[in-house]
């Protein structure tokens, strides 16, 4: 049965953040707000978490997981990028963007895209996630909270609790945060490629292919 924390979206209570981090460290899966929409999250190194998120969302091994990171230094541990891409990241983070990169050896193989050895990374612009990442001191394994058969992500914490109370350990209720998913940009090629246009503006990337 999921726990339910009502958390302030702009000034999250440290006590609740610490409890949420403890649930994640114990192998729990959480539903939490981001700057685009709600997401499912869990501990990066826990194999069972990945399996459970895949089962909740009913996605296969070609599904891109996202590592929610605190900053560019943390991203650089898990993703390979050059100076040009570093400038792009600097211009567009934190924000509603997920970037696809070739993964470094720090990323557990099971988290990589099955065919491409890539990983999604993101620096969210939301006080709740930023506080949680600071408390965890490592990235959060994450996936958009959109359930099988639904066209849009879930946005109401009470509905999330009703539908997922037997599938997650915690719902962090930060209020409605939107229905628009992050913009996904593939930076593994010579030019940035938009995989999914979402909330993040394409302006930082100039002329793009998509």
Is 44 a domain residue? yes
- Regarding pTM above 0.85, the answer is yes
Q: Which two tokens stand for residue 140?
A: 């959060």
Is 172 a domain residue? yes
Which residue from 80, 147, 74 is spatially nearest to 112, judged by alpha carbons? 80
Is 88 a domain residue? yes
Is 152 a domain residue? yes
Upper half-sphere CA count for residue 68 (Cβ side, 13 Å): 32
pLDDT of residue 203: 87
CATH number of the structural domain spanning residue 52: 3.90.870.10
The DSSP element (H or E) to which 56 belongs, if any, is helix 47-57
Q: How far apart are CA 202 and CA 208, in angstroms?
A: 8
DSSP 159: H
What total number of domains does the chain contain?
Answer: 1
pLDDT of residue 190: 87
pLDDT of residue 18: 98
Q: How far apart are CA 100 and CA 95, in angstroms?
A: 15
Gyration radius of the chain's alpha carbons: 16
Q: How far apart are CA 129 and CA 140, in angstroms?
A: 9
Is 210 a domain residue? no
Is 100 a domain residue? yes
DSSP string covering 60-117: -TTPPPEEE-SSHHHHHHHEE--HHHHHHHHHH-SSSEEEEEEE-TTS-GGGS-TTT-
Is 77 a domain residue? yes
What's the domain range around 178? 3-205
Block mean pLDDT (10 aa), the chain, length 210: 95 98 98 96 95 94 90 96 93 95 93 87 97 97 95 94 97 93 93 92 70
Is 95 a domain residue? yes
> Is the separation of the CB atoms in 198 and 122 below 8 Å?
no
DSSP 182: P
pLDDT of residue 207: 54
């Amino acid at each position: 049965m999921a726990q339910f924390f009502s958390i302030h979206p702009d000034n999250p209570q440290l006590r609740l953040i610490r409890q949420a981090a403890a649930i994640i460290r114990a192998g729990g899966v959480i539903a939490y707000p981001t700057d685009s929409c709600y997401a499912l999250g869990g501990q990066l190194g826990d194999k069972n978490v990945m399996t459970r998120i895949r089962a909740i969302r009913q996605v296969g091994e070609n599904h891109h997981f996202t590592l929610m990171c605190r900053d560019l230094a943390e991203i650089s541990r898990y993703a390979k990028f050059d100076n040009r891409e570093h400038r792009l990241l600097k211009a567009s983070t934190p924000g509603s963007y997920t970037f696809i990169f070739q993964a470094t050896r720090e990323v557990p193989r099971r988290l990589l895209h099955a065919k491409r050895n890539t990983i999604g990374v993101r620096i969210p612009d939301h006080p709740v996630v930023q506080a949680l990442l600071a408390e965890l001191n490592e990235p959060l394994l994450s996936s958009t909270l959109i359930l099988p058969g639904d066209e849009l992500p879930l946005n109401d914490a009470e509905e999330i609790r009703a539908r997922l109370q037997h599938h997650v350990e915690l719902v962090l209720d930060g209020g409605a945060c939107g229905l628009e998913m992050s913009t996904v940009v593939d930076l593994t090629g010579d030019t940035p490629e938009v995989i999914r246009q979402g909330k993040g503006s394409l302006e930082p990337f100039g002329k793009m292919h998509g």
